Chain A
Amino acid sequence: MTAIFSIRDVSMRFGGLLALNRFSMEVEPGSIHALIGPNGAGKSTAFNCVSRFCTPFEGDILFDGKSLLNEPPHRVVAMGIARTFQNIEQLYRMTVLENVLVGLTSRVRRYFPFAPGVARARAEREAVRDAEEVLDQTGLLAYRDTLAGELDFGRQKLLDVSRALACKPRLLLLDEPAAGLRNREISYIDSILVDLARRRGITIVLVEHVMQLVMSVADTVTVLSFGEKIAEGAPAKIRADPKVIEAYLGSEAVNA
């Protein structure tokens, strides 16, 4: 199979810091691809380049053979790439339903917003139906009318995923969906991710520190350290790679 999504020799610099150094990765369609690495390795920067919050100074990012670098952030979503955020960013003063409806934005047809009308009624009816379907899948339907800011931490993370899913993405970028969650919640995320990839064919790129999740769901793991790719392969192989262990634990651990 050929890759649906590829990052090619992307470099990104913040002042004197080289956050990404000729970083490349290829993602197979329908796979779960984990991107791991110590703090500051450049994982979130890679995501921010893909969702176009940052522009790399060299390299290219291709989705379906098309370059993303000429697209503004909202167009990337329309192309089929959705993302979640590491430090849960939420629409705190809007309800759970509204959060998901915002995720649907690029799929809701335009209508005159100041008055009732047929086009409006149809667009909103369909949008609410789709939103409730997503909430049902992620188990948040019972919280439909709760303000997002009033949800507990675990459910806020789920809401972030729900909002991203509402974009009907073909590629889903998840930035630490399991960080700070309890074991039970992690296995719930685990089952949702597997379901999305295996049953619905959504390609997932996952940045994660929770190795329990990475090792159980990922088909491929890419390891970043100080902006450079140091290893890539199946989870079992990565776990045993001395270079990866060194990056995480320091060289002392390898010698010992």
Chain B
Amino acid sequence: MYGAPARKQLALLSLLVLAGFVLPYVLPGYFLYIANLLMMYVILAIGFDILLGWTGQFAFAHIAFYGIGIYGTALLQLRFGVPFVIGMPAAAALAALIGFLIALPATRLRTVYLALATFAFAECAEWVFRTWESVTKGSDGLRISAPDIFGYVVGTDGRALPVIAIILALVLAGTLYLRHSKLGRSLCAIRDSEHVAAASGIDVKRIKVIAFTISAFYAGIAGGTYTLFQSFVHPDGLGVWTLVLVLTMIVVGGSGTLPGVILGVVLLGILPEALRAAPRGLLVWQEFAYGLILILAIMFMPRGIWGLIRGGARARKSPAAPRQRAAGALPREAP
């Protein structure tokens, strides 16, 4: 059956939820933190990939919506006592609304112009987080208190893990359904050829706006998830560095594919933690290293690690099949 995800995929998701409940009893605290961090990055990266890898739009405003999700959820709780279960969806909806408003002018642009305009918006957003001190506490950073969910207090990494696992499972399920839907196909069609999409009856501009909105909503959810296991938010974490990190995760893993993005998040999310043991002199090279990995991946592995694995599997299955067209991970109209 085409129009729905495979049973196996949905079964994996229930396994994820199960792991969310079991792992806190098995793993030491530090690993639980890493698990939470990676799961949040998966939500953030998939949202980005829906715009970048599915729809083929080079928009770089994603971290701004992530910030709106974090500050939105945190401030609704701190200032107005709005509980997490309402605050997070509200913050994600706000991110989606702002994403929608940005998309209206942004979808008139493409390639480098779209990238620059959305990047400028992200920089503005970071400036607002930093400067609007009466609300965000600016560069002092904002302390986040542990939310409680219907009386369940999320105080530790172990107590946050099951909640985040459930959120991630829901997001992944929704994404799988989206991929096999009419809308999901329209997004991918726009990436492959806007002309074919339009000539097939797809309202290209409208679907692009929808893609921006969905992408921003995912970022907002990722931001809300952040408040579950982090106790502090600072504008420094919402700048170019985070953008490059998520972008590297997507490109190295394999843009446009769900398993690829998850793979990229796990590999590049663990790397800085593994490097923590490295001497200080090496650590300052971290951001440089990510940039280098990103460039090398784009040059030598445009379909990412997952693309290599899949390409190999396909070649073995049908030895007579023609060589795969070198359709890169990035849209063909890319400069």
Cβ contacts under 8 Å, B186 to chain A: 102, 105
Cβ contacts under 8 Å, B140 to chain A: none
Cβ contacts under 8 Å, A91 to chain B: 188-189, 192-193, 196
A156 CA / B313 CA spacing, docked (Å): 23
**Is B38 on the interface with A (CB-CB < 8 A)?**
no
The CB with the most chain B CB atoms within 10 A, among A105, A124, A147, is that of: A105
CB distance from A118 to the nearest CB of B (A): 12
* Chain B residue nearest to A79 in the complex (CB): B201
Picked from B177, B189, B202, B327, the residue with its CB within 8 Å of the CB of A116 is B177
Cβ contacts under 8 Å, A248 to chain B: none
Tell me if B200 and A124 are in contact (CB < 8 A). no
Tell me if B3 and A128 are in contact (CB < 8 A). yes
Tell me if A102 and B325 are in contact (CB < 8 A). no
Number of A-B residue pairs with CB-CB distance less than 8 Å in the complex they form: 125
**Is A94 on the interface with B (CB-CB < 8 A)?**
yes
The CB with the most chain B CB atoms within 10 A, among A78, A91, A93, A150, is that of: A93
Number of interface residues of A (CB under 8 A): 45
CB distance from B261 to the nearest CB of A (A): 15
Cβ contacts under 8 Å, A111 to chain B: 181-182
A251 CA / B204 CA spacing, docked (Å): 46
Cβ contacts under 8 Å, A90 to chain B: 192-193, 196
Tell me if B198 and A93 are in contact (CB < 8 A). no
Cβ contacts under 8 Å, A149 to chain B: 324-325, 327
Q: A89-B195, A91-B189, A114-B174 are in contact. Are A123 and B321 (CB under 8 A)?
A: no
CB distance from B203 to the nearest CB of A (A): 5
**Is B178 on the interface with A (CB-CB < 8 A)?**
yes
The CB with the most chain A CB atoms within 10 A, among B2, B199, B322, B327, is that of: B199
User: Which residues of chain B from 144 to 200 have a CB within 8 Å of any chain A CB?
Assistant: 173-175, 177-178, 180-186, 188-189, 191-193, 195-200
A226 CA / B163 CA spacing, docked (Å): 68
Tell me if B185 and A83 are in contact (CB < 8 A). no
**Is B4 on the interface with A (CB-CB < 8 A)?**
yes
**Is B256 on the interface with A (CB-CB < 8 A)?**
yes
A108 CA / B184 CA spacing, docked (Å): 13
Main secondary structure of the interface of B (DSSP, over half): helix
Number of interface residues of B (CB under 8 A): 37
User: Which residues of chain B from 1 to 16 have a CB within 8 Å of any chain A CB?
Assistant: 1-4
**Is A120 on the interface with B (CB-CB < 8 A)?**
yes
Tell me if A92 and B322 are in contact (CB < 8 A). no
Cβ contacts under 8 Å, B325 to chain A: 92, 149-150
Cβ contacts under 8 Å, A125 to chain B: 1, 3
A135 CA / B321 CA spacing, docked (Å): 20
CB distance from B31 to the nearest CB of A (A): 31
Tell me if B196 and A123 are in contact (CB < 8 A). no
Tell me if A163 and B196 are in contact (CB < 8 A). yes
* Chain A residue nearest to B186 in the complex (CB): A105
User: Which residues of chain B from 279 to 327 have a CB within 8 Å of any chain A CB?
Assistant: 321-322, 324-325, 327
Tell me if A113 and B183 are in contact (CB < 8 A). yes
Tell me if A74 and B192 are in contact (CB < 8 A). no
Name 24 interchain pairs, CB-CB below 8 A, sorted by A.
Answer: A51-B198, A51-B199, A74-B202, A77-B199, A77-B200, A83-B199, A90-B192, A93-B188, A93-B327, A94-B188, A97-B2, A101-B182, A102-B202, A103-B201, A105-B182, A105-B186, A108-B182, A113-B177, A116-B177, A123-B182, A125-B3, A149-B325, A150-B321, A166-B200
Give A residues with C-beta under 8 Å from B: 51, 53, 72-74, 77-78, 82-83, 85, 89-94, 97-98, 101-103, 105-106, 108, 110-111, 113-116, 120-121, 123-125, 127-128, 147, 149-150, 152, 163-164, 166-167
